[in-house]
Amino acid sequence: MRIAVPALQLTLVEAHARRCAFLRESAAALGLAGVRVVQARAEEAGHDPELRGRFDLAVARAVAPLPVLAEYALPLLAPGGLFAAPKGSRWAEELEAARPALAELGGGALPPLTLPLPSDVPEQRVLLVRRTGELPAHLPRRPGLPVRRPLGAPPRRPAARRDARSSASR
């Protein structure tokens, strides 16, 4: 992105130290000033006062369901900021399933962009979410929770416990 738009100032958030080192070395080798690499989990970055609510645009790789990505990205956006997430052929179902989470995060979905791909490649879209409302202070939740229990998902029922005495007598 920085190569395509030289005036762009980027902050890259990455949890793993080795990937951070690679990103820093790559930016330096390519002579890309204006690229900052922050080593942090997205859930932690969303509570960092230097990062929370500071960005006009957040972009995520398509590595998680939309409610999870939105919980990672929207806390980083300034009001009115835009979140973009590339998604594959099931984008419409994913967007529909994410609507409760987007509402809880103070975001509103915009019409998706179609990626111009060759005809033999499955359809892909870039889903767009604008931060339109207030973001609750408790979001994002602690590390790991967004993946285990995405916002807006139906609550999981606890597994039935077996009575230790009855299972021992079998």
Output the pTM of the full model: 0.86
Q: Is residue 163 part of a domain?
A: no
Tokens of 17: 């130290």
* Residue-level pLDDT at 122: 87
38 closest CA partner among 19, 12, 59: 12
* Residue-level pLDDT at 5: 93
Q: Is residue 145 part of a domain?
A: yes
CATH number at residue 120: 3.40.50.150
Structural domain count, the chain: 1
Per-residue burial over 50-85, b = 16 or more CB atoms within 10 Å of its CB, e = otherwise = ebbeebeebbbebebbbbbbbbbbbbbbeeebbbbb
Q: Is residue 3 part of a domain?
A: no
Give me the tens of pLDDT residue by residue for the chain, a chain 170 residues long: 999 999 999 999 999 999 999 999 999 999 999 999 999 999 999 999 999 999 999 999 868 999 999 999 999 999 999 999 999 989 999 999 999 999 999 999 999 999 898 999 888 999 999 999 999 999 999 999 999 999 988 777 766 555 555 555 55
- Domain limits at 94? 40-153
* Residue-level pLDDT at 152: 87
DSSP label at residue 142: S
Q: Is residue 1 part of a domain?
A: no
Q: Is residue 164 part of a domain?
A: no
Q: Is residue 167 part of a domain?
A: no
Q: Is residue 10 part of a domain?
A: no
Q: Is residue 90 part of a domain?
A: yes
Task: Round to whole Å and give the CA distance between 170 and 15.
Answer: 48
